[in-house]
Amino acid sequence: MSAASQAELTPIRGQRDGAGRSPQQMFDEIAHKYDRANRIMSAGVDIFWRRKAIPRLLEGLGERPRILDLGAGTLDGALEIARRAPGARVAAADFAREMLVAGKPKVKGDARIYAYAADGHHLPYRDAAFDGAFSAFCIRNLADLPRGLRELRRVVRPGGRVVLLEFLRPERPRLFIDRIWNAHVLPLIGRVVSGDRDAYRYLPESIGRFRSPAELAALLGEVGFASVETRALFPSGVATMVVAS
């Protein structure tokens, strides 16, 4: 794989939070409080989701796979990949540089993990550079989702695997999760923990305007993935794991 250590980021117009910030600006500003807020709001379930998804990613990819972690954030996913596949090389890419900076102490100089500031709409990697790609709660923030998914397809070799963790728009509104927890409780907790209410109001708003599981599966097929499966994750389908190859 090859990439500049700090890829040129081209701003792409898209969604904004209540303070008028792009997702990139928003995540940069909350980066150093992100892990604490995330653990409190998810009660640690996000760790379970990653541990459920990453074994599926690594199935059949060999002992020394080349893996892209797109939207790597504070590097929890990259570290879990390296833990489960000691021979792996992981490119951890995120458009919010401060998220990568906040996660850097966790890596402790691990030479298997390479962090890059990179935009998912135009990844700085050659075609078929990776055996697989992982992305946790990132693609919902892409301004141009088809373009971002085509980039994922391009940089993963034929026969490789992509595993996505995401909050997808439910087929039917869920009274407690959508109308009470996400709409009111999460922004309140986010404001208390991080001091930034708008960032956590952005979460339910972005879910509401995103794709459903069926719509995302159809789009993955359109951009070139041969097979797609979706699986709702505990608790009660709050998150979805999507496996494409």
User: Strand pairing of 66-70 and 130-136?
Assistant: parallel
- pLDDT per residue over 67-112, tens digit each? 999 999 999 999 999 999 999 999 999 999 999 999 999 999 899 9
Other beta carbons less than 10 A from residue 172's beta carbon: 7
Lowest mean pLDDT among 16-25, 29-38, 112-121, 146-155: 16-25
Decide: helix, strand or coil at residue 62: coil
- According to the per-residue pLDDT averaged within each range, which of 23-32, 179-188, 194-203 is highest? 23-32
Q: Where are the domains of the chain?
A: 23-244
Average pLDDT over residues 220-235: 95
Decide: helix, strand or coil at residue 15: coil
Give percent of the chain above pLDDT 90: 67
130: pLDDT strictly greater than 90: yes
Question: Between 158 and 8, where is the model more confident?
Answer: 158
Collect all residues with Cβ–Cβ distance below 8 Å to 60 and sequence separation of at least 6: 161
**How many Å apart are CA 135 and CA 153, to the nearest integer?**
13
Maximum Cα–Cα distance for the chain, whole Å?
46
- Indicate the average pLDDT of the chain: 89
The confidence score (pLDDT) of residue 194 equals 81
pTM of the model: 0.89
Distance, in Å, from the CA atom of 221 to the CA atom of 202, rounded to the nearest integer, reads 28
More confident residue, 97 or 13: 97
Rounded CA-CA distance 113/107 in Å is 8
Bridge partners of residue 136, in order along the sequence: 165
pLDDT at 185: 80
23-244, CATH topology level: Rossmann fold (3.40.50)
Edge-to-edge strand order for the sheet containing 113-117? Answer: 113-117, 89-94, 66-70, 130-136, 156-166, 239-244, 228-233
DSSP 141: G
Whole-number pLDDT of residue 28: 94
Please compute the mean of the pLDDT values over residues 119-141 and round it to a whole number: 97
Say which residue, 14 or 26, is predicted with more confidence: 26
Do residues 149 and 121 make contact, with C-beta atoms less than 8 angstroms apart?
no
The two structure tokens encoding residue 148: 């971002």
Nearest to 155 by CA among 113, 126, 184, 134: 126
Residue 223 region, left (φ>0) first, then alpha (ψ -120 to 50), else beta? alpha
Cis omega (within 30 of 0) for bond into 235 = yes
Mean pLDDT value across residues 19-46: 88
Q: Cα–Cα distances in Å, from 13 out to 16, 21, 243?
A: 9, 11, 28
**In terms of pLDDT, which residue wins out, 163 or 179?**
163
Length of the chain: 245
